[in-house]
């Protein structure tokens, strides 16, 4: 949650900077729309602030992932809930990634890439991320080893 | 080591590409330098640029002379021994297609470009190797490689004229060029044309605004149509064994072939104009057909043709993708979601038009006998009506169907599209429920497939979550039961 809050705070600061830039420099450019755009931006800033306050705990409470022998299921979302299913058979690549904020908090994301898209398991503790990646690599390795006696793939 | 002289390449023997490649690569440089000379042609600069051009030619000559290609028993090796050494090995087992295309310069020099694509989601838009040889050599190499890639078909037959199931006349090509462009794009293009005519009428002369609008019309509407007509000129499609062959092109000619097993999905498309003409076209999602020249990467299996011919061609070319199962309409809950969406869109539009409408009214209220003061409110009301009509049509036509091997989505209120997919080609399934959809008990599905541009997704309408989840479950069942054969579907 902390990582999400920091992430959102950075974006919110950028949004605030854009707001002040518009208020300071865009009066002549916007002409009669200056006040209207100003009120619109304040409204967007207020809504965003509410979302930022509420979203991380909801995201955290709803976030679920499950790895079985044949599939990866990820369910997440704040307003829009998404359910992603990735068959282990289709996994091409497993990657552990850490941005600067996650680095500070000892967190990592595991990104699972298939030939036609990707899915992420986000905000895992580094040890857990390593375990997840190892498990996935084991499952993929086992699947490929089972295929070795057969003729080579197309 | 030998140069490309027109004789077929022997196995393992390193050969060089056709020397005309030096001219091809240098030509773009000379155009840029010529423009620079024309713009800045004073003092010592032209001489400097000429020296630069000579350097570019020498560089390209060196690249050509030190690049060799070896066609081995199991792979093709492209090796460049310059300052930045590269060695690219392309195993036949991983190749998706070997195609030939010829541009204007290729015709001048009697050469052809041999393009090798491998089965890869990353870098799918660019061929792994583009090799220029004399036309005979390229055809010979392609025929030999096609035999390795596509199996035991007699290669010599490839030159014999195959009888296509459906023939395409120049009129079909022109109709395809004009009416396969998306309706939104056409409306956009003609709006620019109308604005341009309006400006010409007002200013009684060719003003800057009219010219820009006219240019936009050409870019948005005319250029894509002309490009399509040129691309699909002399279009011919046929299937031999498990391989589909495409031949077409006016300025640049294309000879493309791919195994049916490489098709991930088939789209039957009907733009609004095409529906009015009773025509439809077929496109396939195939990985590994990149030509690197920026054209559409999704091959057309059938240009806009009457629906009966399109259906016949579909059954003959890709019977593996003929869906015969039942289709279901969206449930009642979808109607609620679509209505809420339409209401929100109408509200936002009306809100956005309040201020401009008042401004236009104030500016034109004094004009006698004109409807101009009310033009924007009328236009807004018309767009709102269109939004609600499109919502109604969207609810009526969106469908979803599943059978044991295939499943299908039908979408598009204006330009209609039926996508038929095989469970074994599904990479991931994503089900999305927004707050409104949750309230009405429906969800949307997105299926991710490997496509010509790397990855592509196909979206459904609003259906029960359990119905959409059944796609993923069927994929898993087919893997678990062994119905899915990784050797046929491996990427």
Average pLDDT over residues A93-109: 83
**Which pLDDT belongs to residue B275?**
92
Interchain pair B427, A80: CB under 8 A: no
Of residues B291 and B437, the one with the higher pLDDT is B437
Tens of pLDDT, residues A59-87:
989 899 998 888 888 999 888 899 998 88
Tens of pLDDT, residues A114-137:
777 788 888 888 888 888 888 888
Among the partner-chain residues B431, B456, B486, the one whose CB lies closest to the CB of A116 is B456
Among the partner-chain residues A33, A70, A80, the one whose CB lies closest to the CB of B433 is A80
Average pLDDT over residues B124-144: 81
Please compute, for residue B428, the number of CA atoms within 13 A of its CA located in the half-sphere on the CB side.
Answer: 25
Average pLDDT over residues B454-477: 87
B321 pLDDT more than 50: yes
Among the partner-chain residues A80, A85, A154, the one whose CB lies closest to the CB of B428 is A85
Interchain pair B486, A147: CB under 8 A: yes
B479 pLDDT more than 70: yes
Cα–Cα distance measured from residue A22 to residue A46, given in angstroms and rounded to the nearest whole number: 16
**Which pLDDT belongs to residue B123?**
56
CA distances from B327 to A57, A72, B102, B401 (A): 40, 29, 43, 4
| ipTM of the complex, rounded to two decimals | 0.79
Dihedrals φ, ψ of A68, to 5°? -110, -175
Range from B128-132, B442-446, B478-482 that averages highest in pLDDT: B442-446
Residue pair A141/A72 in contact (Cβ under 8 Å)? The answer is: no
Range list of H helices, B250-331: 272-277, 307-317
Please name the helix (run of DSSP H) or strand (run of DSSP E) that holds residue B117, with its range, or none. strand B111-118
- B322 three-class SS: coil
Of residues B125 and B6, the one with the higher pLDDT is B125
**Which pLDDT belongs to residue B2?**
52
Among the partner-chain residues B287, B457, B479, the one whose CB lies closest to the CB of A87 is B479
**Which pLDDT belongs to residue B292?**
54
**Which pLDDT belongs to residue B157?**
46
Question: Confidence class of residue B440 from pLDDT cuts 50, 70 and 90?
Answer: very high
Tens of pLDDT, residues B270-304:
999 999 999 999 998 887 676 555 555 678 899 99
CA distances from B86 to A29, B67, B69, B182, B290 (A): 53, 9, 12, 42, 21
Dihedrals φ, ψ of B163, to 5°? -90, 105
Q: Strand runs (DSSP E) across B260-386, as ranges?
A: 263-270, 279-286, 300-306, 328-329
Q: Return the residue of A nearest to B456 by Cα.
A: A116
pTM > 0.80: no
CATH architecture under which domain A64-147 falls: Roll (2.30)
Q: How many CB pairs under 8 A join A and B?
A: 92
Tens of pLDDT, residues B373-405:
788 889 999 999 999 999 999 999 999 998 888
B chain contacts of residue A71, beta-carbon cutoff 8 Å: 476
Tens of pLDDT, residues B300-318:
899 999 989 999 999 988 8
Question: Confidence class of residue A111 from pLDDT cuts 50, 70 and 90?
Answer: confident
**Which pLDDT belongs to residue B205?**
60
Question: Confidence class of residue B206 from pLDDT cuts 50, 70 and 90?
Answer: low
Q: Return the residue of A nearest to B431 by Cα.
A: A83
**Which pLDDT belongs to residue A148?**
61
Tens of pLDDT, residues A13-62:
998 898 888 888 877 777 777 888 888 888 889 999 999 889 889 998 98
Where in chain A are the domains? Answer: 2-61, 64-147
Average pLDDT, chain B: 82
Range from B11-15, B123-127, B241-245 that averages highest in pLDDT: B241-245
Of residues B404 and B96, the one with the higher pLDDT is B404
Residue pair B166/B235 in contact (Cβ under 8 Å)? The answer is: no
Percent of chain A with pLDDT over 90: 8
Cα–Cα distance measured from residue B479 to residue A143, given in angstroms and rounded to the nearest whole number: 12
Average pLDDT over residues B327-345: 92
Cα–Cα distance measured from residue A121 to residue A111, given in angstroms and rounded to the nearest whole number: 6
Q: For B64-73, B200-209, B323-332, which range has the lowest pLDDT when averaged over its residues? A: B200-209
A150 pLDDT more than 60: no
**Which pLDDT belongs to residue B442?**
93
Tens of pLDDT, residues B154-184:
444 445 555 667 888 899 999 999 998 899 8
- B400 three-class SS: strand
Range list of H helices, B97-236: 104-109, 135-150, 170-179, 183-203, 208-217, 223-232
Tens of pLDDT, residues B9-34:
556 788 888 888 888 888 877 777 77
A chain contacts of residue B469, beta-carbon cutoff 8 Å: 83, 85
């Amino acid at each position: 949650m902390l990582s999400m809050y920091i992430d959102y705070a950075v974006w919110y600061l950028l949004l605030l900077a854009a707001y002040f830039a518009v208020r300071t420099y865009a009066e002549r450019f916007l002409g009669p729309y200056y006040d209207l755009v100003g009120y619109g931006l304040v409204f967007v800033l207020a809504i965003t602030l509410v979302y930022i306050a509420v979203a991380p705990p909801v995201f955290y409470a709803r976030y679920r992932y499950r790895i079985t022998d044949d599939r990866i299921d990820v369910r997440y979302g704040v307003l829009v809930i998404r359910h992603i299913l990735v068959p282990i058979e289709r996994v091409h690549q497993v990657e552990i990634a850490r941005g600067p904020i996650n680095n500070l908090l000892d967190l990592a994301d595991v990104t699972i890439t298939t030939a036609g898209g990707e899915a992420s398991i986000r905000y895992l503790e580094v040890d857990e991320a390593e375990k997840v990646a190892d498990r996935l690599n084991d499952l993929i390795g086992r699947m490929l080893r089972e295929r070795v006696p057969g003729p080579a793939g197309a | 080591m030998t140069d490309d002289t027109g004789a077929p390449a022997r196995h393992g023997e390193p050969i060089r590409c056709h020397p005309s490649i030096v001219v091809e690569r240098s030509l773009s440089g000379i155009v840029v330098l010529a423009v620079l000379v024309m713009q800045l042609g004073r003092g010592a600069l032209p001489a400097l640029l000429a020296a630069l051009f000579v350097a570019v030619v020498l560089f390209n000559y060196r690249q050509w002379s030190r690049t060799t290609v070896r066609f081995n028993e199991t792979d093709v090796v492209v090796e460049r021994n310059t300052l930045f050494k590269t060695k690219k090995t392309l195993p036949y087992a991983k190749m998706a297609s070997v195609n030939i295309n010829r541009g204007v310069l290729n015709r001048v020099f009697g050469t052809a470009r041999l393009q090798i694509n491998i089965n890869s989601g990353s870098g799918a838009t660019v061929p792994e190797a583009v090799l220029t040889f004399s036309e005979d050599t390229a055809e010979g190499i392609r025929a030999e490689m096609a035999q390795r890639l596509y199996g035991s078909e007699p290669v010599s037959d490839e030159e014999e004229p195959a009888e296509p199931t459906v023939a395409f006349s120049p009129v079909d090509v022109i109709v395809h060029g004009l009416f396969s462009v998306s309706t939104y794009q056409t409306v956009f293009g003609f709006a620019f044309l109308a604005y341009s005519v309006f400006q010409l009428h007002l200013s009684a002369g060719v003003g800057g605004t009219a010219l820009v609008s006219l240019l936009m019309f050409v870019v948005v509407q005319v250029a894509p149509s002309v490009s399509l007509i040129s691309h699909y000129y002399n279009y011919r499609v046929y299937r031999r064994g498990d391989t589909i062959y495409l031949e077409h092109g006016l300025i640049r000619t294309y000879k493309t072939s791919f195994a049916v097993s490489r098709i991930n999905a088939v789209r039957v498309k009907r733009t609004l104009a095409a529906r009015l003409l009773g025509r439809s076209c077929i496109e396939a999602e195939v990985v590994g057909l990149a030509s690197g020249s920026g054209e559409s990467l999704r091959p057309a299996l059938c240009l806009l043709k009457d629906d009966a011919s399109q259906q016949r061609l579909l059954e003959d070319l890709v019977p593996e993708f003929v869906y015969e199962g039942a289709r279901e309409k969206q449930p009642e809950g979808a109607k609620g979601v679509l209505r809420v969406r339409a209401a929100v869109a109408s509200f936002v539009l009306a809100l956005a038009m309040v201020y401009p409408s008042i401004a236009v009214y104030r500016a034109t209220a004094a004009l006698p006998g004109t409807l101009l003061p009310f033009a924007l409110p009328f236009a807004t009301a018309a767009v709102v009506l269109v939004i609600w009509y499109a919502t109604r049509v969207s609810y009526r036509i969106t469908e979803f169907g599943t059978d044991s091997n295939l499943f299908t989505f039908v979408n598009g209120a204006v330009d209609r599209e039926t996508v038929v997919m095989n469970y074994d080609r599904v990479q991931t399934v994503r089900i999305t429920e927004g707050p409104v959809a949750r309230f009405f008990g429906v969800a949307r599905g997105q299926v991710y497939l490997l496509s010509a541009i790397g990855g592509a997704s196909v979206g459904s309408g609003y259906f029960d979550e359990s119905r959409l989840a059944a796609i993923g479950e069927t994929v898993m069942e087919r893997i678990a039961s062994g119905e899915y054969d990784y050797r046929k579907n491996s990427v």
